[in-house]
Structure 1
Amino acid sequence: MKTLYYFFAFLLLFSCQSKTEEFDIIIKHGTIYDGSGGAPFVGDIGIKGDQIIAIGEIDQNADKIIDATGLAVSPGFIDMHTHLEPIMELPLAESLLKQGATFALGGPDGGGPWPFGTYLDSLEKMDLGLNVGFLVGHNTIRKEVMGMEDRKPSDEELQLMESYVETGMNEGAFGISTGLKYLPGTFSELDEVIALSKVAAKQGGIYTSHLREEGLGLIDAVKEAIVISREASIPVVLTHHKAIGVKMWGKSSITLAMVDSARNLGLDIMMDQYPYAASHTGISVLIPSWAMEGGKFEERVSNPVLKDSIKAGIIFNILNDRGGNDLRRIQFSRVSWNKDLEGETLLDWLEMEKMEPTMPNAAELVIQAQLNGGTGTIYHAMDENDVENIMKHPMTMVGSDGRLSSPGEGHPHPRAYGTFPRILGYYVREKQILLLPEAIHKMTGLSAKRIGLKDRGLIKEGFFADITIFNPETIIDKSTFTDPHQYPVGIEYVLVNGTVEIDKGELTGKTNGRVIRKTTQKKGL
């Protein structure tokens, strides 16, 4: 009898130990949105190491129990378009992490890092707050091979650029990005972009593009992207898709119809978007590209005849493109040479200089700004109806287009702090533009599938435990155009590869982000 007693006591002790050891973390009683777009369900999630190993009703122990009663449990958000350039200085990526993002795709707009593999190797040695992947940048490669010259590449130069794209893909790039509005990408012709995209396509990469134009030339620019998809046989993302300038407001109905038509023909065209009616880029976007060619802008504005042409081009862009026909729509974000201008508008600057608020005078200040080293600039030149129209399209994902930011540094676009909570709080809860499962799908499962991320983007057994837990009744962005350095509210927990990095809204100090390469998309890597 005593022997049986010890036997059962041993079994009970063993059972208790097994329950303790089976899970590191259990998320209890959460409303689970699995990232597929389907209806949510209430349940528990068991995590061991960096993976989800059980979903359902879990009646066991764990080292940490998270009570998610009344909270939404989602896959970690995926940022399809991120300016990760400051990541060496801001490896925690707090401005993204506190939005609930657990993966960010860097290297957009043609600006991927180079040498590609060397850069990723360096990042792998850092304690990262979230997972990152990168695109190889067309502008970066073209500048490396051809400088800032406005011409077609020679056969040898094109072959060298192709080899660079192949190298980037072999070293883990998820595809190629272009910034055909920016130098030197704007100097490239269609056949060059197709040739380089074919190289990325052979290795399963995607093509993301800051289109050649997003204002008056938007329709032709979308056509160009569709042709690239067809000729290179590559999936295309129209990144930060928008219609810029008063004359283009409402034209998203045309571009979305073009996407639908292309998809009906079998082409794989998608979009990403940030949820704001204002864009952000350099002041140079107002300057005709020919004036910047070869780095000879200062020389050209010293020539009175050329300067008149440059001013005319700037005035045209203020009236018809990014300027939105209103000097108050041009707002400075980062001005290294005059911090007093940060947050102010071009109209404010004219007033500071005691200059008449005319378009020629505004053009003079744009030239001066560029000569001083340029500025980061917010352009309030989009229509809210287009933002909502694009958002509702089933092939639209979410990309902040935000630069990693730190409180007190510059005057960033609020998307750097608020993109994902803004969609969930403002566009889902308040405006009901999207349903919550649909919005979560756009920022998780849909994006993961587009990139080719394996074992991420869904809450599913065997997938990595990248999980964001938020309060759907309170989540909202706080960052504004006048006061941008504000973190959102309503993000309660963020887990990155099974590590709790935000606990009850506060940073834990732990980091478990990884550099993810397309070439190593297997479990455990």
Structure 2
Amino acid sequence: MRVALTGGLIVDGTGADLVPGTVLVEGERITAVLPPGEPVVEADVIDATGNIVAPGFVDLHSHADFSLGASPAAESQLAQGVTTLVAGNCGWSPFPITDLETLRAGTAFLGPKHDWTWNDLAGFAATLRPAVNLALQVGHCTLRIAAMGSARRAPSPTELRTMQDLLRAAADQGAVGFSTGLIYAPGAYAASEEVAALVATAAECGLLYSTHIRNEGAGLLTALDEAIAAARAGGARLEISHLKAVGKANYGLVDAALEHLDQVDDVDLGWDAYPYTATSTTLTTRLPTWALAGGELLDRLADPAERGRIADALRADVLLSPDSVVIASLPPGRYEDSRGLSVTEIAQRDGVDAAEIVLRILESHQAAVSVVNHAMSEDDVTTVLAHPRTAVASDGWIMDATGPGHPHPRNFGTFPRVLGHYARDRGILTLPEAIRRMTSLPATRLGLTDRGHIKPGAIADLVVLDPHTITDNSTYDDPWQLSTGVTHVLVAGQPTLANAAPTDARPGRMV
């Protein structure tokens, strides 16, 4: 198949200025970048007049491994121009599996629609036929569950070796990274020494180390140091996931964090961010981690004494912020009509305090509750996005155009929001620089040399977009709205979005 994208301005992904020209594709690769007016024969023409032709966007931080199997068309991603998703983040991956019941409970907040018929990366990958590419990381929480369940203790030498062996096996099957989520049980139970040992194993295998660090509030700098020390000791490449400062008392701390990171010159270090002032995670992150030990939260909530201890801990925790925590999704049950409401609003409706309503919601919905937490400063978001080493990433997992719940708008609008709101409207970034943060920068972090650029020989993952109209339409109040302004997407040379409509092509692959 021969395709010519003609008439547009080419943004090659390096940050260089826009240039007119034609991108010629044969099969799955770019074969030439031609000057304007040079004739092209025997090719299917995509008219990009008035538009930008750019490399397909690489999302360094997604949780698509829990959704892409059930939603292979990836409509929400194609509408944004995303062609490659990096999954297995925040310590969670759907493999390896030795204790399926515990893994399913731990990842229930992501709403996976899996049949769970595999036990390793290769088995999982064999089930996928997506419209976009997927790069897989191995999650520390998942490794811990496979080796020692949800135990709140250090691993034995044998258990640590089991985690390392499972990590090596996944690397042999094509994993690109190892991730931690050090606010999530059971990963939160790991001491720095355990993390460092696994990071060293990841480095031996040539994997990227991606981390949702242990503290994104007052302890931000200390948590960054823990990640840097582990990468330094093991010789690993390090990616700080969704860099931010959470909580009003910590607004402005990102300035010190960025200065701190810039001073590190002996670690291959990068970071990413999403362009929103709200996070999204599981409601169980509001609880003390001991309450989740052994996977026995629901049993503890059924015990009056233990329930009281958990409630007291919630009442003492300033990070609960009930006005700011909004229910996003939850399985059927008593509070399923509370999607889109804050913890405060639900508590007032039930006539109880915030701590009690959190426990009621969790016990009524098998603790599988995701939330949107309005906890960040717009000034901080802008500061992080403006830094030249920040890659754009979504931290999303919704692939469909419509569905239940009240998900975070980052699932639908991350990349158009940067291009439209932050680049075009506010001038925080130039258009070529914004596209660099979505293409060559994340591709480089992954070690990909044939994606993220428009150049002869590169894989033809391409996007055509209108820089004047590209818009993120999803909002916190009305999230199920696709972005607009992307008209064509090619994955390995095959159209997966044509005239803003998805095709039936499924050319995505593991990268």
Distance in 2 (CA, whole Å) between partners of 1:93 and 1:339 is 26
- Aligned counterpart, 1:31: 9
Q: Choose which of 463, 472, 494 in structure 2 pairs with 1:499.
A: 494
Secondary structure of 1:411's match?
A: coil
Bigger shift: residues 406-415 or 276-285: 406-415
- Aligned counterpart, 1:381: 375
Secondary structure of 2:43's match?
A: strand
By how many angstroms is 1:468 displaced? 0.8
Secondary structure of 1:340's match?
A: helix
Is the counterpart of residue 329 in structure 1 residue 324 in structure 2?
yes
Q: Choose which of 218, 237, 240 in structure 1 pairs with 2:239.
A: 237
Report the CA distance shift for 1:183/1:52 in structure 2 as closer, same or farther (over 3 A): same
Secondary structure of 1:484's match?
A: coil
Alignment of 1:314-463 (within 5 A): 314-317=314-317, 319=318, 321=319, 323=320, 325=321, 327-336=322-331, 337=333, 338-353=335-350, 355=351, 361-372=353-364, 373-374=366-367, 375-406=369-400, 407-463=402-458
Distance in 1 (CA, whole Å) between partners of 2:233 and 2:440 is 28
By how many angstroms is 1:267 displaced? 1.5
Q: Do 1:124 and 1:514's aligned partners in 2 also have CA atoms closer than 8 Å?
A: no
Paired letter, 1:29: G
Is the counterpart of residue 89 in structure 1 residue 82 in structure 2?
no
Q: Do 1:24 and 1:48's aligned partners in 2 also have CA atoms closer than 8 Å?
A: yes
Matched residue count? 482
Report the CA distance shift for 1:492/1:344 in structure 2 as closer, same or farther (over 3 A): same
Distance in 1 (CA, whole Å) between partners of 2:187 and 2:128 is 31
Structure 2, unmatched stretches of 5+, are 98-118
By how many angstroms is 1:296 displaced? 2.5
- Aligned counterpart, 2:205: 203
Is the counterpart of residue 475 in structure 1 residue 470 in structure 2?
yes
Distance in 2 (CA, whole Å) between partners of 1:292 and 1:128 is 34
- Aligned counterpart, 2:168: 166
Instruction: Provide the aligned C-alpha RMSD in A.
Output: 1.6
Larger Rg: 1
Q: Choose which of 23, 44, 51 in structure 2 pairs with 1:64.
A: 44
- Aligned counterpart, 1:8: none
Secondary structure of 2:263's match?
A: helix
Distance in 2 (CA, whole Å) between partners of 1:93 and 1:504 is 16
- Aligned counterpart, 2:270: 270
- Aligned counterpart, 1:489: 484
By how many angstroms is 1:199 displaced? 1.1
Q: Do 1:128 and 1:514's aligned partners in 2 also have CA atoms closer than 8 Å?
A: yes
By how many angstroms is 1:118 displaced? 4.0
Distance in 2 (CA, whole Å) between partners of 1:453 and 1:213 is 30
Q: Do 2:15 and 2:432's aligned partners in 1 also have CA atoms closer than 8 Å?
A: yes
Secondary structure of 1:328's match?
A: coil
- Aligned counterpart, 2:286: 286
Distance in 2 (CA, whole Å) between partners of 1:101 and 1:425 is 15
- Aligned counterpart, 1:11: none
Distance in 2 (CA, whole Å) between partners of 1:417 and 1:136 is 25
Q: Do 2:120 and 2:170's aligned partners in 1 also have CA atoms closer than 8 Å?
A: no
By how many angstroms is 1:75 displaced? 0.3
By how many angstroms is 1:258 displaced? 1.2
Paired letter, 2:228: I
Alignment of 1:82-231 (within 5 A): 82-84=62-64, 85-115=66-96, 118-124=120-126, 126-231=128-233
Secondary structure of 1:157's match?
A: helix
Distance in 2 (CA, whole Å) between partners of 1:249 and 1:106 is 29
By how many angstroms is 1:510 displaced? 2.0
By how many angstroms is 1:339 displaced? 2.6
Secondary structure of 1:74's match?
A: strand
Q: Do 2:96 and 2:142's aligned partners in 1 also have CA atoms closer than 8 Å?
A: no
Secondary structure of 1:82's match?
A: coil
Is the counterpart of residue 513 in structure 1 residue 511 in structure 2?
no
Distance in 2 (CA, whole Å) between partners of 1:187 and 1:251 is 26
Distance in 2 (CA, whole Å) between partners of 1:492 and 1:92 is 16
Q: Do 2:62 and 2:397's aligned partners in 1 also have CA atoms closer than 8 Å?
A: yes
Distance in 2 (CA, whole Å) between partners of 1:120 and 1:42 is 42
By how many angstroms is 1:493 displaced? 0.7
Distance in 1 (CA, whole Å) between partners of 2:500 and 2:160 is 50
By how many angstroms is 1:303 displaced? 4.9
Distance in 1 (CA, whole Å) between partners of 2:304 and 2:222 is 33
Report the CA distance shift for 1:443/1:455 in structure 2 as closer, same or farther (over 3 A): same
Paired letter, 1:341: S
Secondary structure of 1:272's match?
A: strand
Q: Do 1:283 and 1:369's aligned partners in 2 also have CA atoms closer than 8 Å?
A: no
Report the CA distance shift for 1:433/1:315 in structure 2 as closer, same or farther (over 3 A): farther
Distance in 2 (CA, whole Å) between partners of 1:309 and 1:268 is 43
By how many angstroms is 1:162 displaced? 0.9
Distance in 2 (CA, whole Å) between partners of 1:179 and 1:469 is 35
Paired letter, 1:442: R
- Aligned counterpart, 1:50: 28
Residue by residue, what CA displacement relative to the aligned partner does 1:238-264 show, whole Å, maximum 9, x if unpaired?
A: 1011110111111001111111111xx
Distance in 1 (CA, whole Å) between partners of 2:357 and 2:298 is 14
Residue by residue, what CA displacement relative to the aligned partner does 1:398-449 show, whole Å, maximum 9, x if unpaired?
A: 1110112430222110001100000000000111111111110111001001
TM-score w.r.t. the length of structure 1 is 0.89
Distance in 2 (CA, whole Å) between partners of 1:62 and 1:30 is 19
Distance in 2 (CA, whole Å) between partners of 1:83 and 1:200 is 20
By how many angstroms is 1:348 displaced? 2.0
- Aligned counterpart, 1:20: none
Paired letter, 1:310: I
Secondary structure of 1:403's match?
A: coil
Q: Do 1:26 and 1:62's aligned partners in 2 also have CA atoms closer than 8 Å?
A: no
- Aligned counterpart, 1:295: 295
- Percent same amino acid among aligned pairs? 36
Paired letter, 1:369: I
